[in-house]
Amino acid sequence: MSEDNLTKPAGSRSKGSVPESAQRILELADDELILGWRNSEWTGIAPFLEEDVAFSSIAQTEIGHARAWYELAAKELGTDADALAFDRDSDDYRCAPFVELRLVPDWAQTIARHWLYETADAIRIKALKASDDPDVAGLAGKIDREEAYHRIHADMWADRLREERRFTEALDSLWPYALGLLDKEQRDRLSEATGREQVEAVERRGHTGELRPLWEEMTMVRRSIPGAAW
């Protein structure tokens, strides 16, 4: 089996006008942008100051990774990263429903998603590092080293909350969403890494009702003052 999930055949949401390889990169970029946005919602209100700093920093790194993926896709599509991040309609985003969920102010759910996401993302990044496309493999390598700090943070919290009922319930409810982050052939590895059985996944095709309000807030300046620079 090829480790390179950028060479997979077109998915159900592919649009004829955008090449498949760029679509695949947009999935990664959109996941990181939307999750980065969700993580940033903890800025100022995390349970304690250390986590306020942690989630703000993680959000910044995820959005930095999104920018790097958007820049790569933009080269192929002849546009720029900001246009891809902010000028598409919310229906055209390719993120998984998993990252759309607004989980503030529930800390147990936030940590559950953080841990599931980082565990799944590690599997995905490993595959991307073996991509035939040197730009993709190179960027995945850079991202992987930065993500190590996110994984350490997520593992530390998952370990601390492992016996807590609210945390295990959050894992149960988010698990089908987490599976939807990965290609089908990568999901066994996520089961193995998390010790959870395969269930029906919430796939990356539609969007939850939670994306639209986020999109409206995120693109507000861009939409109200096209071309604004600051």
Partner 1 sequence: MVTAEQVWEALAEIPDPEIPAVSLVDLGVVRDVAVEGGKVRVEFTPTFLGCPAVEVMRAQMAERINELGAEAEIEIAAEGWSSDRITPEGRRKLAESGFAPPAPGAAPTTLLQIQEVISRCPYCGSTDTRLENLFGPTPCRSIRYCASCRQPFEQFKTL
- Amino acid letter at 174? L
At which residue do the structure tokens 């993680």 appear? 58
Q: How many C-beta atoms surround the C-beta of residue 118 within 10 A?
A: 19
Q: Footprint of partner 1 on residues 67-106 (CB under 8 A)? A: 67-68
CA 139 centroid distance within chain: 16
- Closest distance to partner 1 from the beta carbon of 71 (Å): 9
- Whole-number Å distance between alpha carbons of 228 and 223: 9
Nearest residue (CB) to partner 1, 33 versus 202: 33
Give the end-to-end CA distance of the chain in Å, rounded to a whole number.
Answer: 46
CB 41 within 8 A of CB 165: no
- Which of 5, 23, 39, 61 forms a contact with partner 1 (CB under 8 A)? 61
3 state SS of 49 = helix
Q: Which stretch binds partner 1 (CB under 8 A): 1-9, 103-111, 152-160, 209-217?
A: 152-160
Nearest residue (CB) to partner 1, 105 versus 141: 141
| Residue 67 backbone dihedrals phi, psi, to 5 degrees | -60, -45
- Whole-number Å distance between alpha carbons of 142 and 129: 9
207 belongs to the binding site for partner 1 (CB under 8 A)? no
Q: Footprint of partner 1 on residues 11-50 (CB under 8 A)? A: 50
130 belongs to the binding site for partner 1 (CB under 8 A)? no
Nearest residue (CB) to partner 1, 21 versus 57: 57
CB 205 within 8 A of CB 93: no
- Amino acid letter at 45? I
Nearest residue (CB) to partner 1, 58 versus 85: 58
- Which of 10, 148, 221, 225 forms a contact with partner 1 (CB under 8 A)? 148
Nearest residue (CB) to partner 1, 144 versus 203: 144
Q: Where does this chain bind partner 1 (CB under 8 A)?
A: 50, 53-54, 56-58, 60-65, 67-68, 134-135, 138, 141-143, 145-146, 148-149, 151-153, 155-156
